[in-house]
């Protein structure tokens, strides 16, 4: 039996173990997939012990997507471009990092292509997930401008500098500023990549007192819960909203393909599990 896992801190919110279990069963593969909580201070030892255990592959989630890079033997071009990995394949004693979040985010944002192209786009957060989002936005779309809003301004500045280009300027901003309402009010598309509002802290929103308006599009990468406080407020204001389920399913499909060589319809697997 081959073993797979998801590492994170926390990791208990993740539906990846349930989804991949169902996927392995659907593909008639005798494999296990378990959640493993690794504290950020113990990441090096954690990866060494996973490797020694002969694990076949694993997913990487909050907050390890960037920190894991120096601990891998190889990374593919997507990881090099994004600066973060969410999937690792262990083959012939080599750990190779991949980024399948970009496949997931491409699927999630595809219905909103017209609004993104030529529009003002706000990205909340400056971590690994934000890097995947910015990679897709700056390579597959032509936004008029992108604003990165983050709690820690230095991280917003670093990520903006990494992805900004003369064609699509990426501007850093603080999530804690006097005119947050004015800034967000000028955006056409708002994308939350932070973990604020995710289970179990579902009462929180990264834009607590901000009012949305009709013809704004608000996308949340969080899929647990299906509708975050951020999305509920936006929907009630008449904005178009999308939760992170499509991204979750499509990044999982691509991870599964990298591990097993098999293409699976993860939406079908998810619906077969009862969601």
User: Residue 242 Cβ, how far from ligand ATR at the closest point, in Å?
Assistant: 18
Q: Map residue 269 onto helix, strand or coil.
A: helix
| CA 12 to each of CA 17, 25, 64, 144, 148: distance values in angstroms, whole numbers, following the listed order | 10, 22, 15, 38, 28
Q: How far is CA 263 from CA 27, 73, 104, 244, 260, in A?
A: 9, 26, 14, 21, 9
Nearest approach in angstroms of CB 132 to ligand ATR is: 8
Our answer to whether residue 51 is catalytic in this structure is: no
- Coil, helix or strand for 264? coil
- Give the shortest CB-64-to-ligand ATR separation in angstroms: 7
Chain residues in the site for ligand ATR (CB under 6 A):
62-63, 65, 125-130, 150-152, 155, 175, 193-196, 206
φ/ψ of residue 66, rounded to 5? -95, -40
- As measured in angstroms, the least distance from the Cβ of 223 to ligand ATR is 13
Question: Do the beta carbons of residue 24 and residue 88 sit within 8 Å?
Answer: no
Listed residue (181, 232, 176) closest to 211, CA to CA: 181
Give me the catalytic one of 65, 214, 262, 268.
Answer: 65
Q: Please give the full DSSP string across 96-162, using - where no structure is assigned.
A: EEE--HHHHHHHHHGGGHHHHTTSEEEEE--SHHHHHHHHHHHHH---SEEEEEESSHHHHHHHHHH
Which CB, 151 or 257, lies closer to ligand ATR? 151
Give SS3 for 67.
Answer: coil
Q: Which is nearer to ligand ATR, 17 or 127 (CB)?
A: 127
Nearer to ligand ATR, 31 or 207 (CB): 207
Measured from the CB atom, the residue of 86 and 164 that comes closer to ligand ATR is 86
In whole angstroms, the minimum distance from the beta carbon of 29 to ligand ATR comes to 28
Terminal-to-terminal C-alpha distance of the chain = 26
**Is the peptide bond between 82 and the residue preceding it cis, with omega within 30 degrees of 0?**
no
106 vs 155, beta carbon nearer ligand ATR = 155
Residue 273 per-residue DSSP state: T
User: Any idea which residues carry the catalytic annotation?
Assistant: 65
């Amino acid at each position: 039996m081959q073993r797979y896992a998801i590492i994170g801190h926390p990791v208990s919110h993740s539906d990846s173990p349930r989804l991949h279990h169902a996927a392995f069963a659907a593909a008639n593969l005798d494999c296990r997939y378990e959640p493993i909580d690794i504290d950020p201070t113990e990441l090096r030892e954690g990866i060494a012990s996973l490797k020694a255990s002969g694990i076949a592959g694993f997913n990487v989630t909050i907050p390890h997507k960037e920190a894991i890079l120096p601990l891998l033997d190889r990374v593919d071009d997507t990881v090099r471009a994004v600066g973060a990995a969410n999937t690792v394949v262990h083959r012939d004693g080599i750990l190779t990092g991949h980024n399948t979040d970009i496949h997931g985010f491409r699927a999630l944002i595809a219905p909103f292509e017209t609004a993104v192209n030529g529009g003002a786009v706000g990205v909340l957060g400056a971590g690994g997930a934000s890097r995947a989002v910015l990679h897709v936005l700056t390579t597959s779309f032509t936004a008029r401008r992108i604003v990165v809003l983050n709690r820690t301004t230095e991280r917003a500045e670093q990520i903006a500098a990494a992805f900004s280009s003369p064609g699509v300027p990426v501007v850093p901003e603080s999530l804690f500023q006097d005119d947050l309402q004015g800034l967000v009010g000028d955006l056409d598309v708002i994308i939350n990549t932070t973990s604020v509002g995710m289970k179990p802290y579902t009462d929180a929103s990264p834009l607590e007192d901000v009012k949305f308006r009709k013809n704004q599009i608000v996308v949340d990468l969080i899929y647990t819960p299906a509708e975050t406080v951020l999305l509920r407020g936006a929907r009630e204001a008449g904005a178009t909203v999308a939760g992170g389920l499509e991204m979750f399913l499509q990044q999982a499909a691509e991870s599964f393909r990298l591990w097993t060589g098999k293409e699976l319809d993860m939406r079908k697997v998810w619906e077969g599990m009862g969601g």
